Structure 1
Amino acid sequence: MIRFEPREPASLGRMIAVSVAAAVVALILASVPMLFAGLNVFEAYGLMVKGAFGSVFAFTEMLTRATPLILTGLAAAVAFRAKLWNIGAEGQLYAGALAAVAVGTGMVSGPSYVLIPLVVLAGALAGGLVMLGPTLLKTRLGVDEVVTTLLLNFVILLFVQMMLEGPMKDPMGMGWPQSEPILDGAALPKLMNRMRIHWGLVIALVSTLGVYFLLKRTVWGFEIRAVGENAAAAKHAGIPVTATFVRVGLLSGALAGLAGVGEVAGLKGYLTADLSPGFGYSGIVVAMLAGLSPIGVVFAALFIASIFVGADSMSRATGVSNYLADLIVAMALLCVLVSGLFLRFRVRFIGVPRSREAAE
C-alpha cells in the first residue's frame, strides 16, 4: 500500500537541485530516440553545445532566442504564483506584437525616445487587456481560466491573420500576409553590430528584477503569495482577492505582450502569423523548470533556448530532425511535474494488514 504524506516546504537549494536534476533526466531520456536514430549521443550533445555556445554568433543567437522565453516565463510564473493559470501567453504575445506594429508603423510620428516607449507601452497594454477578460470571468463568474486563456490563443491568432490579410497588410509585401515594417525610429536598437541580439534582452532582464522586487519586497507581492497559498484564508484576512487577481492578470499579460514587442520591434521588424514558434507555451515550461522563481526563469530560459538553438545546429550536421528539441522540452516539463510531486509529498510503503481469519 502506498501513502503520500505532505512534506515541509522545500528549501531554495532543494528546489534548484530538483530543477537541475529534472533537466539532466530529460537529456538522458532524450538520448533513447537518438540511439534509435543511429546517433552517437555524446557527439550529438556536443554538437548541440557547440551550436549554442561555440562562437560569439551562436551565443548571441541563444540569447536572442532566450529573450521572449524570459518574458513569457515571467508571465506564467507571476500568474501561477497566485494560482491564476494563464495558458494564454501565446495569444498575449501576438496581441502585444500587433499593438506594437500598429503604433510603430506610422500611427505616431516623433523621435526614437518617444516612439520606442510608446511601442513598448502599447504592446504591454495590449497583452494585459487580453488577460483581463479571462481574469474577470474567473473572479466574477467562476469560469475556468485555463479554458478561456487557451481558447483565446486561437481567437487572437485568427484575428492577427485577418488583420494581416486586410487593413494591416503591407502593400509592398508582394502579396505575402505581413504587416508594414516598423519605422526605424520605433525599432529596438541592436546590442551588438552585425548580430540579431537587441534591447529586448535588457527589457527582459529589467522585468525580471522588477518582478523579483515586486514579489519579495512589496505589499502587492505578499498579497499575491497569500492568495496563491489560500485564497479563502487571504480573503478572511482582509486581502482584496479579486483586485489581486486583476493586478496579477494585467501584469502577466503585459509581460507576455512585451515578448511580442521584442520579436517585431527588435528582431523581425514586421508582423507575420508565424512570428512565434510557441514561445508562449514554452514559457510555461520555463516557469515550471524555474520553480516559479523570477531569477530562476532567466536560467531556465537560457537552458531551453540553448536546447532549441543547439538542436538546430545539430540537425544541420547530422540530418536528424530538430523536433528533438521539442521532445527534450516536453520531457523536462514531465520531469519537473514528477519531481514537484516528490517535493511536496513523501512516499511511504505500508504493508496491507491481513484479516483476522487469514491470520488464523
Structure 2
Amino acid sequence: MPKAFPREFRDDVVAIARKGELPIRQVAKDFGVSESCLQRWLKIADVEDGKRPGVTASESEALRELKKRNRALEQENEILRRAAAYFARGAAPKMTYPLVLDLADDGVPVAVTCRVLGFSKQAFYKWRAAPVTRRDIEDAYVIHAALRVHHDDPEFGYRFISDELNDAGMAAGRNKVARLCHGQAIVSTIHRRRRGAKRPGPAVHDDLVNRDFAAEGLDQVWLTDITEHWTDEGRLYLCAIKDVHSNKIVGYSIDSRMTSSLAVNALANAITARTPESTIVHSDRGSQFRSHAYVDALTAAGLRGSMGRVAAAGDNAAMESFFALLQKNVLNRHRWTTRDELRLAIVTWIEKTYHRRRRQERLGRLTPVEFERQTLALAA
C-alpha cells in the first residue's frame, strides 16, 4: 500500500494549482502525483476553506469521536444491564468474572468491562488462569455439609450448623459458616416469635389416630413426643415411643440437643426391640418429626407416619400423660446437677418402676411388662 503524502506537501501542491499559472495536468506531473489525486486534494481544500459544501476534516474527526463515544456508551450500558440481571440472581462479587467472559464473547472488550464493574484486569486474568481456588473447593464442601444438616433440621441456624459440622469432624468456624450460610440463604425456619411460641411447620402426614388411643394388639399404634428438663449443666431431652396397646415405652433416646437424630435414634431403638409391621407412629408437628431423616427412617422401616393438628395437645394426650407422670415422679423431685445424673434417673424410672412395678387400671391392674407377657401367651 503506497504511503500517504505529507500534509505540508499536499498544501503546497494545492496552492500552486490554485494560482492557475499551469494546467492541473502539468502541476500533477511536475509534483509526481496523478491528476485525479490532485483534483481530490483541491476539492478537499475548497471544503476546508468553505468554498464548497461538505464535511471538513475537523468535523469528520469530531464525528468519528462522537461515534466512538457513542459506541463506548452503548457498551457501558450493555455491561450495566447485563450486570444488573446477573446480580439479581444473587451471584457473589467474585463470580462477576464469568460475566466478563460472556461480554467478551459478544464483542465487549475486557478492559471496558473491568473498568465499568470496578475491578482490575489483572484480577480477572488471574481468576481465568485458575477459576477454582482451593478456598472455593473447601467452601463447597462446607456448603454441601451445611445444606445436608439444614435439610435434616430446618430450624437450625448457622450456630447449630457449625456445631454439627465440628462434631462430624469438619473444622469450620462460626464466622465462616455464617458467611457461607448467608451466601446460600441457609437460614433457620423459625420466624420472629410471638409471645414466646414458635410457628409450627406444615404436617408431613395425615392424622391416622384422631384421638382414638386404643389398639387391638401390640405394635399397631405407637405414640412419640419429646420432653425437656433443666439441669445445672443445661437442658436434657428425652424422645420416647409408647405402644398404645400395652402403654410400654418400646424405644427412647436421651441427648443434650433436640435434633432430628434424637427422634431417629428413638425410632431405631424401638424397631430393634420390636418387630413392627405397618405400625402407625403418631407425633406432633415438631421439626424433628417433620425432618427428612425421620421421614426416611419411617419409610425404610415400612411404618406409617401420623401427625396431630397445630396447638392441639389432645391429639397426643396419651403421650402427654406419660410425660406428666415422668415430670411428677422424676423431673420435679429435686434440682438435678448433671445431665448424667438425670439421665440415669429417667432410665431407671422407665425400666424399673414404670415398666415392672407401676400397675395400671387400664391394663387390669397389671404392669406393662406383665400385660404384654399375658397378651403374647394368649396369642400363642
Band the TM-score falls in, shorter-chain normalisation: under 0.3
What TM-score comes out, normalization by structure 2 length? 0.21
Which structure has more strand as a fraction of its residues?
Answer: 2
Structure with bigger gyration radius: 2
What TM-score comes out, normalization by structure 1 length? 0.22
Structure with the larger RCO, 1 or 2 (CA within 8 Å, 6+ apart): 1
